[in-house]
Structures are given as C-alpha cells and as structure tokens.
Structure 1
Amino acid sequence: MAKISSCFKWTFVFFNSLFAIFGIVIIVLGLLGQPYAEEPNARTGVIVFYVIGSIIFCIAVLGAYGAHKESKCALIVFFILMCLATAGMLRFAIPLASARPEIYSILRDHFKTESNLTEDQERALNPIQEHFHCCGLFNGYRDWRGKVPDSCNCVNPNADDTCEMMSSRSVWSKPCGILITEYVMVITMAVLFSLAALAILGGLMSLAMIIRVCACPETQLPSFPLSYKPPKYTEVINY
C-alpha cells in the first residue's frame, strides 16, 4: 500500500525530471563548446560544464527514483545531497555578493596590463558598445590603442550617459567591462540563490516523504459485533 500521496509524489517526480533535463542541457552546452576550447582555461570551463551537468542529472534521477519507488534509502541520500548543495551554493553566493568591489578592482588591474584587444574581443565588444553606450573594457577608448571603432561614438546620449573628447571625436567614457562584469555577477548570484532555494524546497519535500515512509503502519483494532441478542427464556430454563 502506498504511503505517499500520489499527487505529492508525481509533483516531486515531475520537478526532478525537469532538473534531469536541465543537467542534460548543461552537458550538451559543454559538448558544443568543446571544439572552441583551445586554451587551458577554456578546457577547464568545458570540464566544469560536464561535471555540473552530470551531478545535476544523477541527483535528479535519484530523487525521482526514490519518490516513485518510495525508497527510504534513496530519499535519505537525496535529502543529504540537497543539504550539501544548499550549503555549497550559499558558500559561493554570499562571498560573491560581498566581494563585488574587490572583483571589479582585480579585473581592472588585470586588463590594464593587456596590450591589445584580440579579434574575438573586438567583434564581441562592437554590439555591446553600441547598445550599452560604453567603450573599451576597463580603460575606455584607450583599450583600442588608437583604432577606436564607430560603435564608441557618442551619439544620442541619455541622461545617465557621459562622453569625452578623443582628438576630433566624442566617444563614450563609460567602460564596458564594468557593465559586463556587473551583469554577469548579478545573473550568477541570481542563479545561485535560486538553485539554493530550490534545493531547500527539494530537501523539505524529500524530508516529508521520508517521515511518511518511515511512519508505523496503522494497526486495525479487532472488530466486535454490535448487535447482541439475549437467549430465549425457554433456552435458559432448559439449561
């Protein structure tokens, strides 16, 4: 006899199936990025994609199996993994949120030592400069080493935009590196905190199922007949 509500069980299985698909998507992204991973840092990023996708897929399959089969061992392991995942994501998200100024300064010092922008960086920066009204990475138009593209031209500035003169041209003074870093960090923190919240929810749901599975079975009391007929008078006399 099933001890867990079928609606609760299949809801848990459904969300774990979605997470399994999410893990497969991460693995596929790693496969798609592998042909472009020529540098050691890029190869490390691809390996990280493989590892994270595989871990998410395995944990999701474990949770779905434990709920479907009402396996106490699988649900306990899933609950422990959810606790560890929550602690790990908060361990990265909270220091990342508090260390944003330090990260900006580290990146700024790193890009000050760069000699020239690569061709890939130039192609990626052109649409960003035109859309976000910025120029260069962390040093403004100076990052282009005299070859400032037209996307840096200060055209139709808004109230928050600032421009500066470069010889006979007016270019955006705000570096794009600050904007890119801020967007990346905000998205990363949002993903980490969201996954931590989902891990807490998954842990609570698995804990509720563990309690239900481990509950003692209900014992039925012996039934007694409620209708009682006294013996007849003649039967009492003859006895």
Structure 2
Amino acid sequence: MQRSAVVVVADKTSLKRPFIFANVVHMALCLFMLLMTIAWHRDHIQNDKLLSSASLAIMYVMEIGCLLLSVLGVVGALKGKRWCLILYATGMAAASQTIIIKTALSYQDVYQKRVVREETKLLSMMPLTATNKANRTLLYSIQQEFECCGLVEGYKDWGASIPPSCNCHSPGKCIRLRGSATLGAPKNQYVYRQPCLTIYVSELKLAFSLAMAIQFGSGVFWGVLLVMSIKLMGQMRRKQEFMALLQSNRYVPGAF
C-alpha cells in the first residue's frame, strides 16, 4: 500500500499531462497556419501573382516541421520514449533560438523594407490626376477598404475627377462639397474627409508589429516547451530509477 501511494503521488506531480496539452494546442496552431499558407498559396496561383519561392519554402518547412515536432513530443511523453523527447528538445531549441534572434535582428531592416517601401510607393503616385490605370485601381481599393479619399490633401488630390470610391456613407467621416467647391463634382456630394496615406501607413505599422509580436511569441512558446520537455525527461529518469529500487526491494522510506 505504501509503494502504490508513492507512485500515485509521483504521477500527480508529473509534467506529462501539461506537456501533452501544450503540444496539442501547438499542433492545432501549426495546422491552422499551414492551412492558411496553403489557401494563400492557392489564391496567388489562381490570380497569377508572383511569389518568392524561398519565402514560401521556409513557411512550409517551419509549419510542417513544428507540427511533426509536436507529434514526436506527444509520442515520447505517452510512450515514455526519451529518444523522442531528446529529438523534440533539440528541434525546439534550434527553432526557438533561430526565430527569437532573427526577429530581434531583422526588426528594423524588415520595417524599412515593408512599411517605408509601401509609403514611398504611394507617394510616387502623386499627382493622382496623372497616375496610371494600375495605380488608380489600387487606390480605389484602398479608399473603399479604409474609408478615405486621396493621399495627402484628401479629395483635392483628385482634382476635378473624384472617383466613386471616395463617396462617403459613414456619418462622422464625411465632408460635404457645396456647389462648385471642386470643379466637376456633383453639388452637395459627400466624400471621405481623411486622406489615405496616414491611415494606410498606420495599418501597415500595426500589421507589421503584430506579425513581429507573433513571431517573437512563437519563439518564447517554443522555449517554454523546450524547458518542459527537459524537465519531463528528468522526471522520467527519476521515476525509472525509483521503480527499479522498488522492484529490487531496496527502497528505504525517507531516502528521497
């Protein structure tokens, strides 16, 4: 009875169940990200958009690799296979250190390449009255999505030809064009008050910061899983040694 009670207490203090639960959550997240990548990839193919093969390959390798690592960790915890947990810990150590260091070192560089490049691209379209058809199409979609008009000076950037995407239907965001305030504009037309450049750049910064936070958070989460796997391996080793003592009838109460 004393031996059974000791074993039960040892099981209750084990990291086995929390470790398995954390990895099941991780597998669900990896699977979700993989499905999102596949959908994004398919959408780009259907719309004949160019993709970076290197970036796409890295995304697939990271997501599939992390999914397989979690499967390996769950198998190791359920079956008590230390070699599975050793491979799991090695993979998680490499993944967590890589993404944390990469995120920290590349933050400013990626910011400059993505956010500043997009801002410069939009400013290069000025004046809007002389921009090409492709730029107009892009601006129309931005104006509809973010409920804004023009880039720098609002509707004035379009001169006499204010596009329908500037028409405002949201109270509080509109400005009323009275009479001939803008040549060619209908009388009493309502257009969006705010220019698009500041709104669009703010949304880009927010999306960029969120993406960086997710990357860094993933690295920290992988680090936590790494620590849990190391502690679990230690518990498994001590349990095996303890059970060996029980089997050999050399257990002395109070020795541990």
- Displacement, 1:141? 6.5
Quick one: which amino acid aligns to residue 217 of structure 1?
E
CA distance in 1, matches of 2:75, 2:251: 37
Alignment partner of 1:156: what SS?
coil
Name 2:145's counterpart in structure 1.
Answer: 128
- Aligned residue number for residue 172 of structure 1: 194
1:189 paired residue number: 212
Structure 1 residues 222 and 24, CA gap change in structure 2 (3 angstroms): closer
Instruction: Provide the aligned C-alpha RMSD in A.
Output: 3.9
Residues 10-51 of structure 1, C-alpha deviation per residue, up to 9 Å, x if partnerless?
221122122222222223223333432222327766555533
Percent identical among aligned pairs is 13
Q: What TM-score do you get using the length of structure 1 for normalisation?
A: 0.68
State the alpha-carbon separation in 2 of the partners of residues 51 and 170 from structure 1. 44
Residue 70 of structure 2: aligned partner: 60
CA distance in 1: counterparts of 2:10 and 2:149, whole angstroms: 56
Which structure 2 residue ranges, 5 or more long, are not aligned? Answer: 1-6, 126-131, 175-180, 184-190
Asked whether the equivalents of residues 143 and 149 of structure 2 are also in contact (C-alpha less than 8 Å), the reply is no
The aligned runs of 1:92-131 (5 Å cut-off) are 92-99=102-109, 102-103=112-113, 104-113=115-124, 115=132, 116-117=134-135, 119=137, 121-122=138-139, 124-130=141-147
Query: Residue 117 of structure 1 aligns to a residue in which SS?
Result: helix
Q: Deviations over 1:114-163 (max 9, x none)?
A: 653364x4564234321xx5754x997799795543158997369xxxxx
The one-letter code matched in structure 2 to 1:5 is: D
- The answer as to whether partners of 1:135 and 1:171 remain within 8 angstroms in 2 is no
1:209, 1:113 → 2: CA distance? 57
SS in 2 for 1:41: coil
Specify which of 221, 225, 229 is matched with residue 250 of structure 2.
221
Asked whether the 8 Å contact 1:134–1:152 carries over to 2, the reply is no
2:99, 2:119 → 1: CA distance? Answer: 26
Give the TM-score normalised by structure 2.
0.64
Q: Structure 2 CA distance, aligned partners of 1:154 and 1:196?
A: 41
The 8 Å contact of residues 23 and 55 in structure 1, kept in 2 or not, is answered as no
Cα separation, partners in 2 of 1:8 and 1:110, compared to 1, 3 Å: same
Instruction: Return closer, same or farther for 1:124/1:89 CA change in 2, 3 Å cut-off.
Output: farther
C-alpha contact (below 8 Å) 1:26/1:50 kept by paired residues:
no
> Is this contact kept in 1: 2:103–2:216, CA < 8 A?
yes
> How far apart, in 2, do the equivalents of 1:4 and 1:117 lie?
67
Separation in structure 1 between the aligned mates of residue 167 and residue 10 of structure 2, nearest angstrom: 60
The 3-state SS of whatever aligns with 1:221 is coil
- TM-superposed deviation, 1:75: 0.9
Give the whole-Å Cα distance in 2 for the aligned partners of 1:4 and 1:79: 23
> Which one-letter code corresponds to 1:28 in the other structure?
L
Q: Does the CA-based 8 Å contact 1:17-1:60 persist in structure 2? A: yes
Q: Which amino acid aligns with 1:13?
A: I
Report if aligned partners of 1:62, 1:74 keep a CA contact under 8 Å in 2. yes
Question: Mind listing any 5+ residue stretches in structure 1 that lack a counterpart?
Answer: 159-165, 224-239
Residues 157 and 100 of structure 1: CA distance in aligned 2, closer, same or farther (over 3 Å): farther
